[in-house]
Structure formats: structure tokens, C-alpha cells
Amino acid sequence: MVAYDDARKAFVVDTVLGAIAPAPEQKAAYSDYIGRDDSGAIAAFLDDDSTGILQVSIAKSPAGQLQMRLTNSADFPQGCFYQLTLSKVRPGPISLADIPGGIAVSTVVNSPLSSLYHSLSNVYYPLLGIDQQQGGTAVRKQQRTVDPKLEELLLDVQAGLGKLVRGADGGQAIDQGGGLHEIQTPLDELKYWADLAANPAAGVHARAAAQVLNHLDALQQPLTDLSNGSIEGDWEGALELVGRSGDALRQVWPLKMPPTGWAYPQKRMQHFLKTLGMALVMFVQRKLQGVDLWRTSFNVLKGSLIAAGQLLAAWIREASTLTSDWAVGLDAGGHLWEGPAFCDAHVAAFQDRIERIYALRDLHEELSALLSQEETSALGLGSVFAPFAQLAALHVSEFTAAAWASAEAEHERRLEVVSARISQKFKELFATVIIPNMALSTSQQSGGKDGPNASVAVAHPQQLFQELRQYSRLLSRPRIAAALQAEQSALAKQVDQYLELLQTELDKQQDGARGRAAINTGRLMHGVADSISWLMQCQAKASSVRDILQLLVGTANSTNSTESTAANGTQVGDAPATVALRSCLSTAVSLVQTIETQKKDMFTMWQDDVQSQLQDMASWKTSRLMTFDAANSHIRCHFNEALVGLLKEVRQLQALGFNVRREVLQEVETAGKFYRYGMVLHQCAHFYNNIATEMIPSQKPMMLADAVEFEKVLMNPKDATGRDITWHNASALEGYVRRLSAVAERLAMSNRRLRQWHSVLAGKVVGLMSTDLVRHKDKWVAAVKEMRDIFAGLEAQYPRARQEVWRHHWDFQLYKALEVQFRSGLENINKNLPEMEVSMVCRHHKLQYDPPLEELRMNHIAKHLNGFLGLPLRMKGVSSLSERQGFFAPIADADPAAIAMVYESCEALFASLADELRKYQDWLVLGDVAGDLEDYVEQQLCGSSNSSDDGSNIASNTGGDIGDWELNLRMLKQAAQDVDRLPNEVRIDCYKISLAPFKAYLEEMMKRLREALASSLRKKALSERQAIDDFLAAGQALLNLQATSVEEIGKAGQEARALVTRLSEVPQLRKRIEEKNRLLRQMAAATPAGAASGSSLAIIDLSGLSERWDSFVSQLQAYDSNLEVQRQGLQGQVLKKIQEFEGVITGFASRWQSIKPRGGPTGNPAVVMAQLEDAARQLADIKEEADALCKECEALGVSPPAFPQLEEVQADVMSTQASWGSYRDFLTERDNLAHKDWLSMRDQVWKIEDFLTKWEGTCSGASASDPGKAAIAVVLLQEIDAYRRCLPHLKSSMRGINWEDTHWVQLFSLLGFKAGTLTKETVTLAHFLDKADAIIAHVQQIKELDAMVSWYGVPFCGRSVLGTELGQTGIGNNTSYTSVHTAYTVLLERMSLFLMTAGTACNACLELVLLNTSQLLMSINHQQRRIFCFIRRKAAL
């Protein structure tokens, strides 16, 4: 090609060459021709200001070469078929900047009008936002860019141009198909006929066009929807359109176009068929557009591919059928189709492409089903569609065929390894399933062929054949077929045996000796129809074998390289498996043909047999309708039943597709007319003959009238004139049958109705048999009421008098049902009672039921048990027998032992309920402390608030180990889990115990416990934090203290050292606080929102504690050095204080020696005791001062002084104080006894004896090494001795029994008391003990005083004597151990002697003694107790 210096010219030449696209070998010549610019048109276009266009016109010479003409004027010469026009956008020469934007390029094809029409329709209208008119409606695709009026004008232009280019103006010959190149869609064809019909100038052509349009107009809307891709019904709608299109074309093909032509010439019809096919192809492309044909799930894509293939196949078939029918003159109206039937190659190719895609996807699906996921990945099955990834599978043309074939070849190559694995699987399938099951089926059938179900075993091989057909696509692959030669040989062997079995069955059917009895299809077939149906089944089985063999033989043929065929049908070079399969195929074909022949022969024989029997069958026409057999009282109908079988056979054979002879059909038609009457008479006769068994005995009285009327009509078959009715009299027969049918139907309906009600009643009673009387008593009441309603509803037709037998029957049935359920209820009444809900609640810290258990017991017995036991007494039935109470009463009286067991089981039930309460009683342990749970938790975990700790150890003072809380929380969590595992409800027989309130109570208690734990934990942490703060505050106060004295410095030093020793405790506390904070966080995280207050789970703030602690430690370390300077200056002062303190000790020792008591107490003991206490206080002060000096020395670093003199004096004071302390205790205990009035103590003097005995033992144990204690012991023993000497007198002569006031005055005077100071009411034992010496000195006077009272006062003499005698016998003496019985003896002897000498006075005294015997015995018992107590004390000492 020539290179041009002018880039503008090069652009023009290249543009023209690209537009005309010459052959490669001619491209250079055309380039040279255009470049020479012989006409100068190119130069003028490029440089001439007045030249605006360059037009290149292309025409073909007769030799087929392109002829080109370049001009600068716009015209379309004759013979031109293509024209290229380059026009300037603006006037002036072309510059490089105008390329390409300044040059407009356009083309004209065939004609300027056609090009303008298509440019407007396909290019400019869409650009302007207007789509073409579709079904009369403009569809806007984008925003309007032109004025509406201009848009309307443009649409009018489009419509006019369309009419012109389609040739609807009548200017083109219709019979020759002019303007077909402008008909691009089926809608264009419909528009053509619409335009022609509306053209007034068309004349007769318009009328013919109107006829065509009348038939095609029904396709307008479906075709419009099809072009839009949204036809109603989707795929089904498109398939329906194919049928409707074929029907419409059949109507328009015979139409003529005056004067001599056809409305639809063959050329136009071919073009219309092509446009229809293209529209369907475009519809399929739109439906599958955007769908990934290779990655989309096959289950999703399968339906669309099948529907698309069926749609295209239906169109191909419809078009071929249409043209084939027209070719033979069918529906052609004389308009024959010339040449072969129409076949659209593009549609066929597109259908083939759809089927190939479906086959590839189906193959892939079958392979995926046979392979495991591991095998699929290893064999690369997922990548077999990679060759199709970059290929537009739905673009079908001769130019894409090579790419498709290449992709298929690559796909096949990738499947080679998969095919090898599939071959192995098929070998396994044949070896383990197909061949063994086929052999088993054939062996079973051959072994049991004489059995009644021999034919059933044959169905199993058909399932195997169906499985082979399922894998037919895989088996048809050459590589797989070649690998299965051995398996095919084995299969051929089994198939041959199966065909032999079919042949055996067929031979058996042909055996006349066994006849039709050997054939049973199991269907509702009759006679020969059953046999022919069996043959058709056998033929279907053989056909199935034939089809699968044809598939396998075709597969085998594809693996052989030799194509020549031998005389026996096998191909030369066939493998042995192929030969065996062909032999089986030949056998199967022969068997199918044999069965077909036998089927036809059987049908012919049947027709001949039936035709020969027609004469005998017609004898029924002259016989009577029915006759009465007196022997068995039965009615016999004379309609020939053989006609019924014949009628069924004819209908069934016709349904199987057989044509029956006319003679047979006529007889069947005649029998059909009387068939209905014969069947009615047969039914009536049968009903009469079996009426006794049809009626229920208890219902017979209710149907007596209807039965009598039925018998009357049945026994008299006469017409209106009284003559007998025969089969010839059709009208009378119809009336009689109608009348008989009416009465029979009435009786039958009455019987059916009553039987139906009987069944309803039976169902209710049977239902009651299984209806628990305890649980569903209401159902029993409702059922009995419904039964009564049924009887009452039938009384209008059947009066109650006729119902009595029927009612009695059901009363007895109710009795049986009630007896069954009553006995069953007695056994399980507590279990079968209606379920009652009871709640387990906790009230007042006690677990109980709601309602309470006793209330449940009362309701259970009163409402349920007693109510159930009284049911038979209260129940009523449905008849007069049970209207009065007592009909069902024997049921309740039959088993009293069972009734007793009911009450026993009731008690056991409530015992179980009580046990259930006790089972959960232990869960209430938290409820016992529910009122003060928080205090209890704090006391157990934190300890008592009144701690005896002095606070020297802040870590131990705060107490509380974190493990205690963790342990309690773990136990609480475990308890919560245990609560969750508790059942929500417990069923005990008929009671459903709801544990929900109980569990809610437990959860509330656990929640409170958890909150209490959290609160106590936080309180403990707060107390520990407070302890740290207190420690730091105390330390800070110490550090801020300015010491000004020795005491302060010493004290500060001691406190500082104490703080240093306790420094390690603060980190321990902080660690414990952090542990508690950690546990608080865990508790807060585990606590649901709102379940606990935020304050109880808030952690303890430790921020700033580290800084305070570090500052405090550093200050404390520096504090000791500051004190050292002050300490050195104060050491001298401390030494001086020590010297002065030693002088104080010496002075105190001197004073002690002067006041120290020597020996026993002299003077008032109280004064001595006061001096001792004062000395002890002084000594304590001195000791405290000494300790202070020692502390000061320790604080100042001086050796602590020793004070031996102070220690000696302290020991002496303590010893003396201890000795006199025992004397003080003696006096205190004595005063407690003695300061009681004597009148109340005179009978309790033994307490003084016990007191003296105790202190005797104490004093006797005093050691001689302690002089002080020994002296005090001597004094005490002296006083004890004085008290003992006066005690006998206190017990005897000083008791004052029956003394007058004058006697007491005399006693007080003898003892030295001032007159008037004492009375008998105010005198105490202490007064007598203090006067012990006086009592001993005046003992004789006191005895005389007491004796005088005894002699002169009779009431007192016996008591005096007894007292004296008791004293003489030793009772009351602490040293006497005489037994009580000895005391009695001595006392009586003394009394006898005394009475003998006393005279009259003694007699009076004896009487007094006898009167006061009871008082005497009481005194003796008292003395005996004292003696025993004394003996025990002595033994203990």
C-alpha cells in the first residue's frame, strides 16, 4: 500500500477501504485507485471551501467485481447497492484538527429511504430518548431531549417511511414478495398487512390483506410481549405462541389475492417463518442473558435449558409439519408447497447448541453424582468448563462454530481422566449391582414361575434397565463403552435369560389348557381385555429391553473401526460383547413382534367367539322380568348377565385402542339400553333376597311399613292395564323400574339411615368404652345427651313406641360401657382424675402447698371420690328402663372391696404429697436467717464488731480472707445450678405440683445472699482501706509532731519503731483489697443488669495510695535521724530523774514498814484493809513511773535501770494484800449469810455449817512459810471455833418457836443488846454470831428461858422437848454420822421415859407431838439431807 504524505488523504483512503472491505488480494489495488483521485473529488473535499461532501458509490459488475465512483454531489445512481458519504461538519478546508471530529461518516444501503428509516429507528430515536412504537405505545428509555411537537413529527416520519420501505403502498408485487428485506421481525410483517389493509389505493388487495390480518391479529400482543422478553406464562406462554402461530398460518396459507395470486406466496411465507424463528431465538437469548451457563447451579439452570430446547424443537417441528402438510395438499386449499419442507438452519443450529449445553451440564452433573468430593478435586472436574469461559455460547453462526468445536474438543480432552475413573465405577456397578441383581431376579422367576406371583419378580430387571437408561449419556461415551466390554458380555447373558423368561410366560399364556386363569394383571379388567392387557405389559417389558439394547449396541458400534456389515446383521470386526448384545437385540425385536401378533390374534378370536354367541345372548329379550322361587323364597331376575361382561369387555378393548366389529357393537348398544334397568332389577332382587341380613334386628319394627310396600310392588310387575311387563315393553318397563326403584330406595334409604345412626350410636358407646369416666365425666354426660337427642330427632319419622326395642338395646350397651369404665376407674381413680395444679410455696419460713394440703384432701374426697362413686346411682339411659334411678346401681354394689381400696389409695396419695414437701424442706435453710441475712453474713465472714484486738496489727485487726467469699460464691453458684436442675413441676398421680414459686423464692434468697456477700465484701474492703488510711494518718500525725520533752521524744521514737515494724502489713492489706476488687469485678460481670445495686458491687478506689505510701515511708526513714539529735541532749535529764526516783522508792519502803499489819488483825479490820488498798495504789503509781522511766531510757538509748528495792516492796505488799484478802472474802461471805432475819434463817442454820466447813479446809491448807497467811488462818480458825460453839444453841434453845415478845427481850438483854434496838423481826443471824461469846457464857439462862416457854406454854413444850432430845441424840451435830433409823429409835425411847414421869402436862405435850408428827418428819428429812451433804464434802476433802 502507498504511504501518503498528506495525513488527511490517508484518513479518507483508510476510511473508504474499511467501509467497502475488499478482498485481501485486491486491497492494494483499491488503495492505489482511491489514492490516485482521478476525478479530483478527494482533493476538492479536502481543500475546496465550497465542497462539503465526498460520496463513494459501490456497484457490482456482471463479473462480480466492485465498481467504485467518487463524486462531490449527493445522488444514488442506478445499480448502486452501497454508498459511503463523508461530509464536513463546518465549511472550509479540512485540517488535521478536524480528524476525525470534523468529518461525519454515513452509509446508504439498498435505498436512501431504507437507510434513513433504519438510521432513525435504530440510531437516532434511541439517542433522542424515544423508542420505536411497540404495540401502539411509545416507550421512553431516557430523558426527553426534543420538543414534544418535534417528537410527534419524527414519529410520523418513521411511520411513513415504514410503509414505504415495507412496500405496503401497493407499489411492489405481492405475489413475488417484494420488499421482504425490510421485514426483519414478525411485527414488521403484521404492520405490513395492517398498512396494506388500511391503504385505500390497494383495492382488492386491501380486502385480502384484511382477511390475512384478521387471522394474524391474535398474534399481535403475544409477539409484542415476546420481543420485550416478558410474555405471559413465560416459557409456557412462548410454547403456546408456537401452536397459535401454526394455527394462524394454516388459516392464511389458502387465502387468495385477486385476481389470480395467493395472499401468501411461498417466498413471503418462508421469510415470515424465518422471522418467527429468529424472534424465538432472540427470546431465548434474552431469557438466558446474564446467566452464567457454566457456573450456575444445574438445578437452577436445568428448567430454563429444557424449556428453551422444547420451545425451539416445537417450532422446528411445527414449521416442518406445516410445510409438509401443504406439500401434500393438507389444509392447503390448492396452494401447494413446492420443494422440501421448510427447515430454518439457524434455529436448528441454535437448538443444537442449547441441547449441547444441556448435555454438557447434565454430563457434568452425572459425573459429580458418581464421584466423591475428594475424587472431584483430584480429577479436576471443576475445571472442565474452563474452555467455554471466554466463549459466548449463545452466539451461533458459521464463524463461531470453529471456536465452539475447539472448546468441545478441549472439554473432551479434560474428561479423559474422569472417564477412566467413571469406567472403574461402572465396572463396580455392573459387578456388584446390575449383574448380580439381574441374575437373582431371573433365577427367582425361573424357580417360582408356577406360583401365583411369578410375574411380580420380573419388575426388578425393569428397575435395573431404568438405572442403565439413567446413565445412558455416560454409557454412550466411546471410552467408557470400550472399557465395559466384559460387563456388556455378562449383561447380554442375563438379558438373554430374562428374554427367555418372558418367552416362557408368553408360551404359558398361549397354552389353551390353562386358559385365562393363568393371567392376572391385578387390574379391574374383564375377560379377554385382561389377557390383552397382560400381553401389552409383556410387550412393554420387551420394548424396554429392546430400547436399552439399541442404546448399548449403538455405543458398541461407536467403538469399532470397521463399518462393513455381515449378512446376519452384525458388523465385521465387532467385539464379542457387541455380537452378544446384537443377538439379544434380535431376540427382543422378535419377541416384541410375536407379542404384537398374538395380541391381534387373540382379539380376532374373541370377536369371532362373541359373534357366534350373539344369538343365544338375545333370548333374554322375550322372557319375563322376574320370577319367584318358592323353594327358597328368593326373587330371580332374567336379565342376561353375560351381556354385562360383554359390555365391560367392549369398553375396555376400545380403551386399549381396538376397533370392535359392527355386529358386536350393535348388540352391545342394545344391551346398553336395558343395562340400567337390568342392573336396577338385579339390585332390587338382591336386596329382597338379603333383606333379612341387611336389617338390624332391633330396628326392624321401625321399617315394617316400608318393607311391606316394597314387597307389594316387587311381587306384581304389571303395567297400568294390569298386564305383566316384559323386556319388549320399554315404556312400561321404565315406569315399573322407576316405581320399584322409588320404594326400594325409600326402604334402602331408611335402612341406611337407621344403620348409619346405629353406627353413630355404636361409635359413641365404643368411644365411651375407652373414655375415662374419672377424667372425662363431662364427655360421658355429653355423649348420653347426644344419644337422647338422636332418638328424639328420629321420633318425627319413627314414633317412640317403635323405638323402644332399639332404645333398650342401647341401654344395655351403655350398662356394659359404664361397668367397664367404673371398674377401671376404681383401680386408677387417683391417677386418672383431671389434672389439678398445686403450687409449692414458702410462707412464714415453712414449705407448704397452695391451697393447703388439708383443703386439698377435703376437696379430693368430697368432690372427686364421692362424686365418682355415686355416678351409677345418678345416671340415666335412653329408654324407659333407665329413666328411673337404679338401673345402673348394681354396678356400684358389685365390688365393695375395690371401693375401700379407693380410699386407701387416696391416703397413700396425700402421704406422697406430704413426702414431696419434706423432700425440699432442706432448701429453706436461708429462709431461717432471711430477716437478718446481711448481719449474719457480715458476722460469719467479717467477725464480730466488738473485737478484743488492741489494733497493734492492722492486717489481723481487719480480718476476713478472700477465700471465704470465693468459697461462698462457688457454693452459691453450685446451689443456683442445683436449683436450675430442680424440676419446674412434679406430677403425683392427678396432681401437678408447680415448683415455680418455690424456685422463685430460692432464687430470691440466693440473690439476697449474693448481694449480702457483695455488700460484706465491699464493707470489708472499705474497712481495710480505712485501716490503711488510719495507719497513714497516725503516721503522718506522728511525723508532724514536734517533740519538746523527753517523754515526747521517747514516745515518738517508740511509735516510729512500731510503725516501722508494721510497714509490711500495709502491702498485705493493699493486696487483699485488690483481691476483693477483683472478686467484685467478677461478681459485677456475672450479675445481670439491674439484678444488683451498683453501689454494692463498686470497687474500692486505690488511686493515689501508692504516692501517699511512698511519701510516708521516705518521711518515716528520715524521722528517726531527726530524733537522735534531741535524744542525746535529754539523756542527762533522764539519769537525774532516775536518782530522784530511787529516793521516792526508799521513802515508800519506810512508810510501808510502819503501816504493815503484824500478825493477826487488831482493831477494826476495815481500817487495816483501807490502809492496805491505799498502799497498793501508791505502789501502782510508783510502778507506773518506773515503767515510764524505763521507756524514756529505751527511747533515748540509755540502759534501763533496775529497781530491786521496788520489786521487794512490791512483793511484800502483794503478799500482805493477798493474806488479808482471804480474811476480807471470809467476812464478805459470812455477811451474805448472816445479814438475813433470824426468823427466816433459823431453819437454814445448816448453810452456816457448810460455810464454816469450807473455810476450815481453806485455813488448814495455809503454809507456815507464809507468816502473813498463817496468822490470818489462825484468826479465822478462832472465829470459826467460836461460831461452832454457839451453833448448837442457835439450833435448839434459840430458835424462838412460839416465843412471846417478852422472851425475845429477855434474850436480847442476856446477850448485851441495848433495850429497844432489836425486835424479833429485825434481829439477824449476824447479831447472834457477833455475840457468840455471850451466847456461850449465858447458855444456861437461855436454856431455862426456852424451857420455861415450853412448860408454861403447852403448844411449845413438845417442840422444846423434841428439840432438846434431838440435840441430845446428836442430830444436827456436824460430827455425828448416826443413821436416820437410829435417831428414830433413840427419840422414841426418850419420849416414853419422859411421858411416864411428866403427868398431866406430859399427856398434853404427847398429844401435841402426835398432832405435829408430819412437821417432825419433815425436819428429820431435812436433817438427813444435811448429813448426806456433809458426808460427801468430807469424802471429797
- DSSP per-residue string spanning 478-504: HHHHHHTHHHHHHHHHHHHHHHHHHHH
pLDDT < 50 positions in the chain? 134-141, 170-178, 449-459, 512-523, 556, 558-570, 572-573, 944-951, 957-958, 1090, 1092-1093, 1352-1417, 1428, 1431-1432, 1434-1437
| Residue 1369 confidence (pLDDT) | 36
Contact 937, 967 (CB under 8 A): no
Q: How far, in Å, CA of 1251 to CA of 47, rounded? A: 162
Q: How far, in Å, CA of 51 to CA of 37, rounded? A: 15
Q: How far, in Å, CA of 803 to CA of 993, rounded? A: 50
Half-sphere exposure for 936 (CA within 13 Å, toward CB):
13
Cell numbers given for 386: 474452563
Place of cell 437410829: 1382
Q: Strand order in 80-88's β-sheet?
A: 66-71, 53-60, 80-88, 103-109
| Residue 931 confidence (pLDDT) | 55
Contact 84, 105 (CB under 8 A): yes
Place of cell 451433804: 1429
69-88 burial by CB neighbour count: b if 16+ within 10 A, else e? Answer: ebebeeeeeeebebbbebeb
Query: Phi and psi dihedrals of 111, rounded to 5?
Result: -155, 155
Cell numbers given for 147: 420538543
Q: How far, in Å, CA of 1149 to CA of 1434, rounded? A: 44
Contacts 24+ apart (CB under 8 A), 4-11: 4/35, 6/46, 7/96, 7/99, 8/46, 8/94, 8/95, 8/96, 8/99, 9/35, 9/37, 9/42, 9/46, 11/99, 11/100, 11/103
DSSP H or E run through 55? strand 53-60
| Residue 264 confidence (pLDDT) | 86
Cα end-to-end distance, the chain, whole Å: 155
Half-sphere exposure for 482 (CA within 13 Å, toward CB):
10
**In degrees, to the nearest 5, what angle opens at C-alpha 556 toward C-alphas 555 and 558?**
65
Beta strand pairing call for 836-843 and 846-850: antiparallel
905-922 burial by CB neighbour count: b if 16+ within 10 A, else e? Answer: bbeebbeebeebbeebee
| Residue 1202 confidence (pLDDT) | 78
Cell numbers given for 397: 453462526
DSSP secondary structure letter of residue 699: G
| Residue 1437 confidence (pLDDT) | 46
